[in-house]
Amino acid sequence: MHSRRTPRGTRTGATLLAAVALLAAGCSSGSSASTASSAEEEAAAAALAPLPRSTPAALTRYYEQKPAWRDCGAPGFQCATLNAPLDYAEPAAGDVRLAVARKKATGPGKRLGSLLVNPGGPGGSAVGYLQGYAGIGYPAAVRARYDMIAVDPRGVARSEPVECLDGPEMDAYTTTDVTPDDAKESEALVAAYKKFAEGCGADAPKLLRHVSTVEAARDMDIVRAALGDKKLHYVGASYGTFLGATYAGLFPKRVGRLVLDGAMDPSLPARRLNLEQTEGFGTAFTAFAKDCVRQSDCPLGDADTSPGQAGKNLKAFFDDLDARPLPTGDADGRRLTESLATMGVIAAMYDEAAWQQLRESLTAAMRENDGAGLLFLSDSYFERNAEGEYANLMFANAAVNCLDLPPAFGSPDEVRRALPDFQKASPVFGEGLAWASLICAYWPVAATGEARRIEAKGAAPIVVVGTTRDPATPYRWAEGLAGQLSSARLLTYDGDGHTAYGRGSACIDSAINTYLLADTPPKHGKRCS
C-alpha cells in the first residue's frame, strides 16, 4: 500500500476520510424518522427503480463523446474533460464539466476494459486517488489488465467544485463548539451551520441543486460509454459503495465487476444511519483503548483500566479543552479546541496503523499541554494545508449528503431529545456526532432523494465487503446492502479499520483480485481475517 501511513488509512490524503465526513460535515443520508426506526419501516422503503435501457435522444450527444486525452500529473497519467447535463430532466438547460483521469493498462495479458475507482466521501477526489495511490498501488496484475479510470463526481475537486467558506472562515467553523452547554452555545452552532450553508448556496446556486448521488451515478454511465465499454467495472470504497450500488440500481444490465468495500446501507433513515455510525466509532474506540492501555505510554490508563474508564478519561480531557484550549505552536496562532481534538481522535480510528500516532499525540496533549499532534490529525482530516487553505472535500460532502436525503434533525430541540441514544452508542463521541447531524436542517436546497432499497435485479454478481469493526461504515451496513442487492456476494473481513481491500489481508485481496481478473466472485458469506 501507500508507503506513508496517514490517519485516514494507508492510502492518499483524500482516500478514506470521506466516510467520516458523513457525520462530521453534519449531514447524513435518511429521513427525519424516529431515532430507532423499526425494521418494518426500513423494509417498507421503496426500491430504486432502474432506468430504461435505451438512451434518450436528448442525451445522445453526451453518450457519443470521445475523450481528448492529454498527459497530466505523474508520467503515465492522462486527463480529459467530459460533459454531462446539469439537469437530467432538462438536458438543454446546460452542462456540468467532469474531470476524468486514466492510466492505461500496462500489460502483459489481454486488456479487460476500464476499471473505475472511487475513494468515498462524498467529496473525495477520485482523480487525486488514482494519481496518488490506485494508479500505482493497486495490484500489478490488476493494473496490467485494466485501464485505471477516475472521475471526480460533479461538485467535487476538479469537477466544478462547490466552495462555501474561505480559509479563515473554515478555521473558525472547525473550532465551533459542537457540544453546546446552553442556549447561547447552541445558537452559536446554528449560526455557524447557517453561514456554512449560505456560503455554499451563494457559490453555486444552480449546481447545488444537481450534485446528488443519482446524478453522479448517471454521469458514470456517460463516462462508461465515452470509454467504449459495454459494462462498468468499478471498485468503490465507503460512500463509493453507495455510488456504485446506485449505478447498479439504475443500470443493472450494464453492471460488470463491481466491488463495494466498506458498504453503506441505502435503506436506513437518517437518525438510524447516524446512530449506527456513532456506535461504529464507539466500537473502534474500544478496540483502540484496549490496545492503548497495554502500552507503557498510554495517557488514558494502565493495564487495569477498562475501555469504559479510558473513554471517561478521554471525555474529561475533551471537557477540559472546552474551557481551556491548548497551545499548538501553530503559525496562525490556532489552539487545540474540543472540536479539533475530537476530530483528530476520530481521524485516527480509520486505521489501526494510526493508533501509535494517536497515542503519542494524546500523551503530548494530556501530559505536556502540547496540542500540535492532535491538531495535525485534525488538519489532515479536514484537508487543511500549511498555508491555511482547505480542499473542497467538506463542502462537497455536505452538498451531496444534504441533497441526497432529508435532514436527520430539524431543530436543536430534536437533537437534545436524541442525545441519550447517541451517548449510549458512544459515550466519547455521541454528543458531538448528534449535534453534527444538524447542518442539513439549514441547507438552502431541499433534499431530492429518500432512503431506498437497492435491488439491481438482473445484475451480474456484485461483491460487497464489510469489516467487522469498521468505525465509519459499520459491518451491519454491509449485511444490509448485501441483503438488498439481488446478486450480492458478501465478503467479510474480521478486523479493525475502515474498508478491507489492500489493507493487509491476503485472503481479502486474493478474493477480490480473482473476481476482477477472472470474473469469479467469492462465495457468499466468505470470511477472512
Handedness of CA 520, 240, 75, 2 (dihedral sign): negative
Percent of the chain with pLDDT over 90: 89
Mean pLDDT to the nearest integer, 172-176: 97
Taking 60 as the threshold, does the pLDDT of residue 35 lie above it? Answer: no
Positive or negative, the CA dihedral 173, 177, 180, 183 is negative
* pLDDT of 25 above 60: no
Which tens digits make up the pLDDT trace of 212-235? 999 999 999 999 999 999 999 999
Residue 38 predicted with pLDDT over 60: no
pLDDT at 385 over 70: yes
**CA distance linking residue 62 with residue 408, whole number of Å:** 35
The C-alpha cell 441483503 sits at 483
Residue 405 binned pLDDT confidence (cut-offs 50, 70, 90): confident
pLDDT tens for residues 311-330? 999 999 999 999 999 999 99
Q: What are phi and psi of 265, to 5 degrees?
A: -105, 110
The pLDDT, as a whole number, for residue 18 is 32
**pLDDT at residue 255, as a whole number:** 98
Helix (H, G, I), strand (E, B) or coil at 27: coil
Question: pLDDT, tens digit, for every residue of 102-140?
Answer: 999 999 999 999 999 999 999 999 999 999 999 999 999
Tell whether the model's pLDDT for residue 469 goes beyond 90. Answer: yes
How would residue 271 be classed by pLDDT, with cut points 50, 70 and 90?
confident
The answer on pLDDT for 522 being more than 80 is: yes
Taking all residues of the chain, what is their mean pLDDT, rounded to a whole number? 91
Residue 264 has pLDDT above 60, yes or no: yes
pLDDT above 80 for 45: no
Give the mean pLDDT of 358-385. 97
**Quick one: how far is CA 12 from the chain centroid?**
14
pLDDT of residue 74: 85
Q: What is the pLDDT of residue 73?
A: 82
Reported CATH class of domain 1-529: alpha beta
Residue 524: is it exposed, middle or buried by C-beta count within 10 angstroms (0-12/13-18/19+)?
A: middle
List beta partners, residue 463. Answer: 259, 489
Provide the annotated active-site residues.
238, 470, 498
pLDDT at position 415 is: 97
With 70 as the cut, is the pLDDT of residue 376 above it?
Answer: yes
Q: For 439-455, what is each residue's pLDDT tens digit? A: 999 999 999 999 999 99
Does residue 276 have a pLDDT over 90?
yes
Q: What's the CA gap between 489 and 62, in Å, rounded?
A: 33
pLDDT at position 44, please? 52
Half-sphere exposure of 372 (CA within 13 A, CB side): 9
Q: What share of the chain is helix, strand, coil (3-state, %, to 5)?
A: 45, 15, 40
* 292: its cell numbers: 492503548
| 483-502: pLDDT as tens digits | 999 999 999 999 999 999 99
* 285 Cβ contact partners less than 8 Å away, ≥ 6 residues apart: 307, 311, 314, 345, 349, 426, 428, 429, 471
Q: Is residue 8 very low, low, confident or very high in pLDDT (cuts 50, 70, 90)?
A: very low
Of 363, 364, 344, give the one whose Cα is nearest residue 354.
344
User: Confidence band (pLDDT; 50, 70, 90) for 6?
Assistant: very low
What is the C-alpha separation between 158 and 2, in angstroms, rounded?
23
Q: Is it the case that residue 9 has pLDDT exceeding 50?
A: no
Question: Are 341 and 354 spatial neighbours (Cβ–Cβ below 8 Å)?
Answer: no
Cell matching residue 68: 481528448
The Cβ of residue 205 has, within 10 Å, a number of other Cβ atoms equal to 11
16 has a pLDDT exceeding 50: no
Model confidence over 420-433: pLDDT tens digits?
A: 999 999 999 999 99
Q: What is the pLDDT of residue 468?
A: 96
Dihedral angle over CA of 194, 195, 198, 199, nearest 10? -150
User: Could you tell me the strand order of the sheet in which 113-118 lies?
Assistant: 70-71, 77-85, 95-103, 146-151, 113-118, 232-237, 255-261, 462-469, 488-496, 526-528
- The residues that bridge with 77 in the sheet, in sequence order, are 103
Q: Domain coordinates of the chain in residue numbers?
A: 1-529
Length of the chain counted residue by residue:
529
CA–CA gap between residue 332 and residue 276 (Å, rounded): 37
Adjacent-strand bridge partners of 467 = 493
